[in-house]
Amino acid sequence: MTKWSYPRIKTVGEDSVLVEFEEEVSPDINRKVRELASGIESHSLPGIMEVVPAYRSLMVFFDPFVTDVKEIFKLIDTLSKDSAGIQVSKRRVFKIPTVYGNRFGPDLKRVSKLTRLPAEEVIRIFSSEAYLVYCLGFLCSLAYLGGVPKILEVPRLSSPRPFVPAGSVGFSGSQANIVPIDQPSGFNYIGRTFVSVYNPEHFPPTLIQPGDYILCPSVSEDEARMAGERDLGDFVEDL
């Protein structure tokens, strides 16, 4: 079996470079990704157009008429070997009021049955945890959250639900999310927030960034709807 050294750097087509770290999903590996992304962005090498971080990798898009790919390899190699001076964004937590159960949590009973926990305990455990934002993607700044407690880890629905309203809060396995727009999904949704996490009229369209944390405290329906009249920025704190 080939033993790889990380990070692995390789070209993808003529205008992008893929950097891969160890093959695991963890906060430590994800921090390496975010540190490297921050270092590349702050270095301002001419020709780099976009840096896209994921769970354990990042893609660097560049203009091949402006920058030689060898220079990008050199920069990535240098930053990977010495990340001590790289500054990443402040650690923040978004505390987003959420109403759980009944029509707002269509899968709460399913999760309760699979975990053999009372519905109230499922809500208590889930709503007490702060979830790391590993990356943004798929559609409309969807935040990929990790860290669902083991006791709550249940599989996806056998058939995706064709319509999940924006603001729905759910999870599958160790992953969780807050749906930014109406969409289909196979996750288990146990609650909903009315705070908008995505605004296409703003840039960036969401304040949530990789490295942030999201906490979804349980509130009444009235409190959740009142919170929905406020901006997402009203619910963020530095850690």
Three-state SS across 83-105? CCCCCCCCCEEEECCEEECHHHC
**Residue 11 pLDDT greater than 70, yes or no:** yes
For residues 119-146, average pLDDT:
95
CATH of residue 24's domain is: 3.30.1360.40
Instruction: Give the neighbor-by-neighbor strand order of the sheet with 142-146.
Output: 99-100, 188-192, 168-172, 175-178, 142-146, 130-137, 213-215, 92-95, 236-238
CATH of residue 184's domain is: 2.40.100.10
Q: Is residue 138 very low, low, confident or very high in pLDDT (cuts 50, 70, 90)?
A: confident
**Residue 236 pLDDT greater than 80, yes or no:** yes
| Residue range 32-66, pLDDT digits in tens | 999 999 999 998 899 999 999 999 999 999 999 99
Q: Are 45 and 81 in contact (CB under 8 A)?
A: no
Is 188 domain-assigned?
Answer: yes
Is 195 domain-assigned?
Answer: yes
Which residue, of 48, 81, 114, is where some domain finishes? Answer: 81
C-alpha atoms less than 13 angstroms from C-alpha of 143 in its C-beta half-sphere:
29
Is 186 found in the same domain as 142? Answer: yes
Is 98 found in the same domain as 45? Answer: no
What pLDDT shows up at residue 4?
Answer: 65
Is 1 domain-assigned?
Answer: no
Is 209 found in the same domain as 189? Answer: yes
Is 134 found in the same domain as 35? Answer: no
Is 150 found in the same domain as 119? Answer: yes
Give the count of domains, the chain: 2
Is 228 found in the same domain as 200? Answer: yes
- Distance CA(29)–CA(154), nearest Å, equals 24
Is 86 domain-assigned?
Answer: no
Q: At what angle do helices 119-127 and 108-115 cross, to 10 degrees?
A: 100
Range(s) of the domain holding residue 103: 92-238
Is 2 domain-assigned?
Answer: no
| Residue range 179-230, pLDDT digits in tens | 999 999 999 999 999 999 999 999 899 999 999 999 999 999 999 999 999 9
Which residue, of 81, 103, 134, is where some domain finishes? Answer: 81
**Residue 85 pLDDT greater than 70, yes or no:** no
Q: At what angle do helices 69-81 and 27-43 cross, to 10 degrees?
A: 130
Is 174 found in the same domain as 104? Answer: yes
Predicted structure pTM score: 0.91
- Average pLDDT taken over every residue of the chain: 93
